[in-house]
Amino acid sequence: MAIAASQPDFILLGATGFLGASILRNLEAKHVVHTSRLRLKDRLGLEALLDEQKPKLGVICAAGERGRPNIAWCDSHPVETVDANITGQLSVAAACHERGLHLILLGTGALYLASGKRKFSETDAPNGGSPGVYTALRQKMEELTAYFNNVLVLRVLYPLSSDLDPRGLLGKLARFKQVDSVQTSVTILDDLMPLLPVLAERRIVGVLNFTNPGTVSYPDIVTALSDRVLKCGEQWQAPEVRGAGAKAAAELDTTRLQDAVGLPIEAAVDSTRRIISSLSDKQVKEFHFAESPWFGRRVGSVMLRASGKKPNGTGYLSLRTDVGRASLGKSFLANCPPEQAPVHSADCAAVIFADVQLECQQSVASVGKFEGLFAVLQEVFHLCRYWIHVIAAPIAQCMWLQPRAQDNTMAKVAHEPPASNPTNSTCRAESGDVESPIRPSLTHHTGHEAPLAPHAPRPTSPVALFGVSMKGKTKNRLLMRTSTREVLGYRTLTLAESAYENAFLMRVITKSIFGKAHFLLLVNFFLQYSVVYLLSERTTGNQSLLKTRLFGQASAIDAPGVCWQREGETRISCTPDEVALSADFANLDRDGDGRWTFEEADALSRGHAETTGRHVNMTEFYKNVFRTMQHYAGPRRADCAMNDPVQAFDSDKGFWSDATIGNITSDGHVVVNYADATKQSSWARYLPTSRLRRQLNGSIYACSVPKCIDMDNGATDSSELACAGYNGFDACSGTWDDDDFQVKKLCCTCGGGSYSLALAGLSHLPVDLPIEDITSIRAFRSCMQGAVQEMQQEECIINYTSIPRHIYEVEIARFAHLCFLPESDLCGNLQHGQLLPSLAIDVSSSVPMLLKIAGLSSTASLSQLNVCMNTVRTFCQRIYTVQSALFLEQRADICGKKTSQITGNKKTVTYSASETYSDPTFGLTSLLFQGFLFLIVFLWGLASVTEFRNILVWWNIVSSMPTAEAEDCLLYTLAEDADDEETVLEVVGLTRRHRLLTILSNLLPRSALQCCIFIVGIRYLLSVRNVSDLILNSLALTFLVTVDEMLFAAFAGEQNAALIQSCKPLRGRSFRWLDWILRKTSIPVGVLIFIPILATLCYFVISNKILTDRLAQATYCLCAMEGEHCHSRQILAGLASS
Tell me the pLDDT tens digit for each residue of 229-255. 888 877 777 888 876 654 556 789 899
Query: Around Cβ 1001, how many Cβ atoms within 10 Å?
Result: 18
pLDDT digits (tens, 9 = 90+) for 122-141: 888 888 767 788 888 888 88
Of 956, 1006, 985, 963, residue with least CA distance to 1056: 985
The CA distance from 1098 to 1091, in Å, is: 11
For residue 753, pLDDT over 80 is answered with no
The angle at the Cα of 312, spanning 307 to 313, to the nearest 5 degrees, equals 45
Domains along the sequence of the chain with CATH? 1-158+187-213+248-470 (3.40.50.720), 494-498+930-1120 (no CATH), 577-633+771-879 (no CATH), 637-760 (2.30.30.140)
The CA distance from 1131 to 1127, in Å, is: 6
Q: Is the peptide bond before 69 cis (omega within 30 degrees of 0)?
A: yes
Span 955-977, average pLDDT: 80
Backbone phi, psi, residue 919, to 5°: -55, 120
Cβ-count burial 231-259 (b if 16+ within 10 Å, e if not): eeeeebebbeeeeebebbbbbbbbebbee
The pLDDT of residue 1083? 76
For residue 83, pLDDT over 90 is answered with no
Q: What's the longest Cα–Cα distance across the chain?
A: 185
Of 662, 664, 665, 668, residue with least CA distance to 690: 668
The pLDDT of residue 102? 94
The CA distance from 420 to 443, in Å, is: 34
Span 873-896, average pLDDT: 89
The pLDDT of residue 740? 56
For residue 114, pLDDT over 80 is answered with no
Q: Which of 52-61, 291-300, 618-627, 966-975 has the lowest mean pLDDT?
A: 291-300
The pLDDT of residue 746? 55
Of 246, 240, 211, residue with least CA distance to 223: 240
The pLDDT of residue 977? 53
Percent of the chain at pLDDT > 70 equals: 74
Cβ-count burial 660-689 (b if 16+ within 10 Å, e if not): bbbbbbbeebbbbbbeeeeeeeeeebbbeb
Q: Which of 460-464, 782-786, 881-885, 1029-1033 has the lowest mean pLDDT?
A: 460-464
3-state SS assignment for residue 414: coil
For residue 812, pLDDT over 70 is answered with yes
Of 206, 200, 195, 209, residue with least CA distance to 155: 209
Q: State the sign of the Cα–Cα–Cα–Cα dihedral 644, 645, 646, 649.
A: positive
The pLDDT of residue 131? 77
The CA distance from 65 to 68, in Å, is: 8
What is the band of 875 on the pLDDT scale with cuts at 50, 70, 90? very high
Regarding predicted confidence, which is higher, 199 or 437? 199
- CA 564 to chain CA centroid, nearest Å: 34
- Judge contact between 371 and 407, C-beta under 8 A: no
For residue 720, pLDDT over 70 is answered with no
Of 931, 840, 831, residue with least CA distance to 872: 831
The CA distance from 1049 to 501, in Å, is: 13
Q: Which of 19-28, 52-61, 351-360, 521-530 has the lowest mean pLDDT?
A: 351-360
pLDDT digits (tens, 9 = 90+) for 607-653: 988 888 888 899 999 999 999 999 999 888 888 888 888 989 887 77
Q: Which of 5-9, 99-103, 431-435 has the lowest mean pLDDT?
A: 431-435
Dihedral, 293, 298, 300, 305 alpha carbons, nearest 10: 160
Cα→Cα distances 1044→498, 514, 619, 1012, Å: 5, 18, 63, 16
Span 1091-1112, average pLDDT: 91
For residue 338, pLDDT over 50 is answered with no
Letter for the amino acid at 227? D
Cα→Cα distances 339→302, 333, 449, 694, 805, Å: 18, 12, 18, 144, 121
What is the band of 1067 on the pLDDT scale with cuts at 50, 70, 90? confident
| H or E element in which residue 535 lies | helix 516-551
For residue 383, pLDDT over 90 is answered with no
Regarding predicted confidence, which is higher, 175 or 1115? 1115
What is the band of 594 on the pLDDT scale with cuts at 50, 70, 90? very high
For residue 1101, pLDDT over 60 is answered with yes
Query: What's the mean per-residue pLDDT of the chain?
Result: 76
Span 483-488, average pLDDT: 60
- The residues pairing with 656 across neighbouring beta strands, listed in sequence order, are 649
Top mean pLDDT of 29-43, 146-160, 679-693 is at: 146-160
- Judge contact between 635 and 771, C-beta under 8 A: yes
Span 136-160, average pLDDT: 90
The pLDDT of residue 61? 92
pLDDT digits (tens, 9 = 90+) for 848-871: 999 999 888 888 888 888 999 999
The CA distance from 1046 to 1053, in Å, is: 12
699-704 and 692-696 strand pairing? antiparallel
Query: Around Cβ 590, how many Cβ atoms within 10 Å?
Result: 15
